[in-house]
Amino acid sequence: MQEANENLKENKVQSAQRNIAEGLDIIKNRQKLIKLADSSEAGWRAVDEYTKNTIASDSEDEKKISKAQTRAERKVKEAKAKKRKDFRDSARPYQKPSWSQTSADNTTWKSGHCYRCNKRGHWRKDCTEKLNGDKISTIVTEVNHLISQINNETPIGITNKSQSCIKNISPVGRLRENLGHWRSIRTNRYVLDVIENGYKMPLFTTPEPIELKNSRSALMNQRFVAQEIEKLLNKGCIEEVKDKPRVVNPLTVADGKAKQSTAGYIFSKLMREIVKFWRTKGYKIVLYLDDGIGGASTFQEAKVVSTEIQGDLDKLGFLIAEDKSHWDPVQELVWLDKFWCYVIIMAKFVLYFVFTIVGFGPHFNAENVDKRILLNDPDLVHTQIQAIQRELETVKTQLAAQVNINSAYQAEIDSLKRFNNQYSSQGSTYTIWGKKNCPPNNGTKAIYSGIAGGGHYDQPGNGANTLCLPHNPDPAPSDFPTHFQDDDKSLSGFLYGSEYQYTYRNVAVDDDVPCAVCDVAHSSSVVMIPAKMTCPTGWSVEYSGVLTALAQYSGFHIGEYLCVDENAEYLSEGARQKDYNGRLFYPVQAACGSLPCPPYKASQLISCVVCSK
């Protein structure tokens, strides 16, 4: 980062980018090693085995990690076997022969470094140095602290505050007692709910009350389990119940694991809110689970930040492991098994301080670092997570398939909508004779009702077709020539009303004839079929009746054949049965000869039907 800073000052952007990329690679590699140590049963021994082999390429990295874990676990098992053998030998009631005894001073050189003192040549079980518990942050005292750089500062002595009383203080409920301070740093609602009401396990259904036996490992360590349960009861972390609980998790005792690999989730959620608050104040703070490190560019600034951090942690309800913390700023220290040295940035030194929070990790059970109680098996949790991931992939696949199906359905719906719009816009019209309204079947609606009209049955100057005249006529344009209105029949045609020339059911001779113009929705064709009372298959009946003509046998004018409804009505306007003539409706009968009889019969009246489709 220092090289990147110098390159940026000299506008060497590409060089600075390379430096930053190298730094990121170093951090990612270190993070991978930390995760490997935390997830492997062999801890940092697996990391040592992994880093010994530097030949493997990136494509073989997964195999490399697997082999490193295998080698480390094998060595752990060998060490345990040797430990059991030494224990059995020490329990013998007789003295071992002098030739088989070995001196403790004749220890061989061991690869790697000691996890207690961080020196090479021996392992932790052979370490002769006494350190404070399992402290992973060590202050280096045998280095040059460059006091001349901070000779204008006033150093503050190391705090000798005793924390022996922490062992008797329960952390249970401390965060909830300080909920107001958590709200003051704008903690999110989820974390506030966890602090106030505890972490809740979501269940789909309420389980039945049940009683289960502990796992085999817990049964084999009954004394240890009893001691741990007694401690948890005394601290208020658990309580004894008389009824069978609904949620039961058999206890499991894990050997040789020094970290609670499944306990970090909610703790990290809590600490993330605090780190976010500190960084908004400009503090340079890094947390790894319950261990933290902070820094500043001057001694006085680092001291102020250190004091503020202590105060915030106390206000929020945390207990500090003072014997594992160092609040006075220094320039060099060991944190997380790594040596941290001062860094020169713009002619200033970064000074560090470290701290550890009580309540997470092995701090309460330092005397039992080789055993701990698990409420769930990390391997089982990992397996369940993998199963959930597989189910998620299956759901994603099903969702994608459903999206495709929905797209196909939507395309079909759009096609049906287009067809419906086209279908709705289609329709046919026809005129029903002898009725004032259209039939209500087949979705038929009346456009208008009117009066049947046409030319005179025995006068010249007439139209051949019959019209359905509306009841509310509009006059011709006012500027149309008026000399046609001088009753000169030779200069214009005339339009007459219509009369029945037969008596049947509701009508009589000389009754005026009504009509209606109808619209058949969703129909493309309308046809009048003579000599039929029913429609062909696939066609709908609009109405049926009798076929009529303009003139009788003695008449000389030819008009069209029209189908009059069998239940004809008379026009209500005007007087009934007044013989004004005009356009006349005569029934039509069959005339044998060119018309074959049978099937027709002489003098047979002809029926008719109007059909739509």
Considering the domain architecture, whether residues 549 and 529 belong to the same structural domain is answered as yes
The neighbouring-strand residues paired with 322 are none
State residue 353's pLDDT score.
52
- Among 88-97, 502-511, 517-526, name the one with the lowest average pLDDT: 88-97
Considering the domain architecture, whether residues 436 and 414 belong to the same structural domain is answered as no
**Region 55-63: what's the mean pLDDT?**
55
State residue 348's pLDDT score.
34
Considering the domain architecture, whether residues 594 and 571 belong to the same structural domain is answered as yes
Considering the domain architecture, whether residues 466 and 390 belong to the same structural domain is answered as no
Residue 416: which domain range? 379-425
**Region 68-79: what's the mean pLDDT?**
74
pLDDT in tens, 185-203: 888 888 888 888 877 666 6
Whether 361 maps to a domain, the answer reads: no
Considering the domain architecture, whether residues 448 and 582 belong to the same structural domain is answered as yes
Distances (CA, A) of 320 to 146, 279, 310, 326: 29, 20, 8, 11
Whether 443 maps to a domain, the answer reads: yes
Whether 198 maps to a domain, the answer reads: no
Contact between 324 and 356 under an 8 Å Cβ cutoff? The reply is yes
To the nearest whole number, what is the mean pLDDT of the chain? Answer: 73
Residue at a domain's end among 387, 403, 425: 425
State residue 143's pLDDT score.
38
Considering the domain architecture, whether residues 505 and 421 belong to the same structural domain is answered as no
Predicted TM-score of the model (pTM): 0.34
| Helix 2-9 × helix 13-39 angle, to 10° | 160
More confident residue, 536 or 572: 536
**Contact residues for 558 (Cβ-Cβ < 8 A; gap 6+):** 464, 550, 551
Considering the domain architecture, whether residues 434 and 545 belong to the same structural domain is answered as yes
Whether 606 maps to a domain, the answer reads: yes
Whether 529 maps to a domain, the answer reads: yes
Considering the domain architecture, whether residues 405 and 533 belong to the same structural domain is answered as no
Whether 132 maps to a domain, the answer reads: no
Considering the domain architecture, whether residues 435 and 405 belong to the same structural domain is answered as no
Considering the domain architecture, whether residues 421 and 432 belong to the same structural domain is answered as no
Helix (H, G, I), strand (E, B) or coil at 351: strand
- Three-point CA angle 544, 473, 460, nearest 5°: 75
Distances (CA, A) of 6 to 13, 258, 344, 490: 10, 42, 11, 115
Whether 505 maps to a domain, the answer reads: yes
State residue 514's pLDDT score.
92
Whether 531 maps to a domain, the answer reads: yes
CA dihedral 303, 305, 307, 311 (to 10 degrees): 180
Percent of the chain with pLDDT over 90: 7
pLDDT at 427 > cutoff 80: no
Residue at a domain's end among 368, 397, 425: 425
Question: How many domains does the structure of the chain reveal?
Answer: 2
pLDDT in tens, 222-253: 888 888 888 888 877 778 888 887 766 666 55
State residue 305's pLDDT score.
86
Identity of the highest mean pLDDT range in 169-173, 319-323, 368-372, 450-454? 450-454
Contact between 359 and 237 under an 8 Å Cβ cutoff? The reply is no
Residue at a domain's end among 425, 444, 459: 425
**Region 79-97: what's the mean pLDDT?**
54
More confident residue, 45 or 218: 218
Considering the domain architecture, whether residues 401 and 435 belong to the same structural domain is answered as no
- Among 103-112, 283-292, 326-335, 551-560, name the one with the lowest average pLDDT: 103-112
pLDDT at 103 > cutoff 50: no
Considering the domain architecture, whether residues 456 and 602 belong to the same structural domain is answered as yes
